[in-house]
Structure 1
């Protein structure tokens, strides 16, 4: 009898052990990279991958000076929270989460001040994950080490400005004429290869979305091939030293398409490059993150017309809805040879506002009483006049509404 009980006990123990071995085990979420150098004075952007989500959704991201044993922030040491405008995180694959950690200068400044008071020179970025099954929240921390912003900081863009050489916001040219030169002035952290291309969006092409204007390294690996491609003008591949600023000249204006009339967009596309300071391990491979940015890149615009002296309206755009709480400002492109400009605002056939402006004035702020035309369909246009008052050229009319 005792032998039977002993055998039964051994059998049941083996069965329970086998059942436990077949049960899925809960694994902690890990992050890559686990620690990074960040700029002491200014913004820093880092590509992070959280690996191993198990029925969890991401919650807020906090920066703090100290963490508890469970990696949550110690109360009283929080430096800031990831702003909604900088949150470009998204799910990646089946159980990964891509997070673009953009540290605002205000957080870096607080961390620096905390270090001056004798505390540690490192701080933490803590992301909270909430379980859909009711399990306790999980906290995952990234160690941020204050550095000078040079060679040991991930290669990331912090500001990009595109401009034409002559300062025009939207140059207008006739078919076959040449545009002024242009380029990109880029502020960045780190050092390494900056690789990319210039593209042009022709009239009739689908307009680029916000995702299309992000740098390639800002997207999860599976979304990078999905960015829309346009006509390539020129490619570049250059090494940027840890100086923090670089100017990338655009392609020769002679190479820009000028055969189609209408609005054209010039895009700067930054491709992902290998960056040992910021590359991220997804669990199945390493993702290159050189050239990450926490914002969509700006675009340049130019207008091609058959008219040798076009007069193009800049703002408000056609169909614009303007807030009654802000001043209403009209802007347009100048015309060579104009002695003055005449601005008209109409409501149907009735002129509700008319202004005569000098040749050097290509903007006009409407008087406050125009805001009384709330929700009315208004149209505005501009005429370029000679000295004798005759019309050189007249713009088309743009429609707008004033919203409460």
Structure 2
């Protein structure tokens, strides 16, 4: 019986930040993917097959929020290995103490037939964030010129210019298109918000397509880790029907020799899967509302939203739950919670239904920043997507 295998078997990763890699596993018939860990050393998994992480050397596990794994190909399995900054820092610290700069990503495959489980590993080698690291997106933040959560315009009025700040590793061609979802269109699913390179090859042509606004293609050099992508010509953006519109950023897969995955190598099909532009997260759409009420006229005077907890400059200890809460606002149809570090990097945007006035942040949020100072705010919007009230930014200190 063929052994479960993976390609690529080794990759270079960013020593000072997150890294995203597209992996293909083959021969998984009769097995179910289980947990995935990073560690500094391995040992025999006997009586199971392969090598597993040695206890005491584990750096972390794949965050559930970044788990985009799915079945693919012929008896295959696609795994998006999203390495948090915290894991890279741990590996770097071990290397600084005399280690060899190598660690491992180990995924267990649980047998469904009573056979031994199988452990499959990928070797991760510390490198810079430049040309030798797979070309991947590590963060995307889209915003209108006025940085409003939902832009409100009247019929015939042009939307504000907008941009997308792209954070990335490696080097490659950023290629794709801007699209818009109009009122009445079928709404995009989570899979439609992923970059094309995040999906298995056979699902890439199945993403929903919407009205194309403009195509783009830019070369991103290895000498940087961020790029501001200009938005399309705003005169081409529709504004003729009332309702909520969504602007989508669609990133297409490109060739990337540092991260491309071979189906032949693992008996999961034929050919190479291009993975340039892979990302471990969906890209949230930018929203604007077209109506008959001018901007600002629809704001409610029925009350202002107030943040409750955490208190200003409150301390937070890693490992402890972090809960946010705020007051109710009459007329609110949705609440938006934003969490950023003091550099302005977006860590979290959560949308909460009316009647929900609290939110617990997932623990992986704090693996995305080196900052010890965070800030948060909450915005209340009415059923037309118009802002009713917004709190001021409130600081949070990481102890």
Which TM-score band (shorter chain)?
0.7 to 0.9
Corresponding residue of 2:6:
31
2:263 matches 1:288: no
Uncovered stretches (5+) of structure 2, i.e. residues with no partner: 45-49, 265-269, 301-330, 336-351, 361-376, 393-399
Counterpart contact for 1:311–1:332, Cα < 8 Å: no
Which of residues 162, 165, 175 in structure 2 aligns to 1:185?
Answer: 165
Corresponding residue of 2:238:
257
Corresponding residue of 2:322:
none
In structure 1, C-alpha distance between the alignment counterparts of 2:208 and 2:379, rounded to whole Å = 33
Corresponding residue of 1:355:
none
Corresponding residue of 1:266:
247
Within 5 A, what are the aligned runs for 1:302-321?
Answer: 302-308=288-294, 310-311=297-298, 315-317=332-334, 320-321=353-354
Corresponding residue of 1:74:
54
2:15 matches 1:40: yes
Corresponding residue of 1:370:
none
Corresponding residue of 1:212:
192
The higher radius of gyration belongs to: 1
Deviation at 1:323, TM superposition (A): 3.3
Deviation at 1:322, TM superposition (A): 3.1
Corresponding residue of 1:23:
none
Q: Which has the higher contact order (CA 8 A, sep 6+)?
A: 2
TM-score by length of 1: 0.74
Within 5 A, what are the aligned runs for 1:143-162?
Answer: 143-162=123-142
Deviation at 1:135, TM superposition (A): 0.8
Corresponding residue of 1:173:
153
Number of residue pairs the alignment of both structures matches: 314
Over aligned residues, Cα RMSD in angstroms?
2.3
Uncovered stretches (5+) of structure 1, i.e. residues with no partner: 1-25, 334-340, 344-361, 366-404
Secondary structure at the counterpart of residue 224 of structure 1: helix
2:356 matches 1:323: yes
Counterpart contact for 1:316–1:330, Cα < 8 Å: no
Corresponding residue of 2:106:
126
Decide whether aligned partners of structure 1 residues 225 and 315 sit closer, same or farther in structure 2, where only a CA change above 3 A counts: farther
Counterpart contact for 1:315–1:330, Cα < 8 Å: no
TM-score by length of 2: 0.74
Deviation at 1:166, TM superposition (A): 2.2
Deviation at 1:54, TM superposition (A): 2.9
In structure 2, C-alpha distance between the alignment counterparts of 1:143 and 1:185, rounded to whole Å = 31
User: 1:247-291 deviations in whole A, cap 9, x for unaligned?
Assistant: 110111111001111111000000000000000011211000000
Corresponding residue of 1:117:
97
Which of residues 62, 71, 78 in structure 1 aligns to 2:37?
Answer: 62
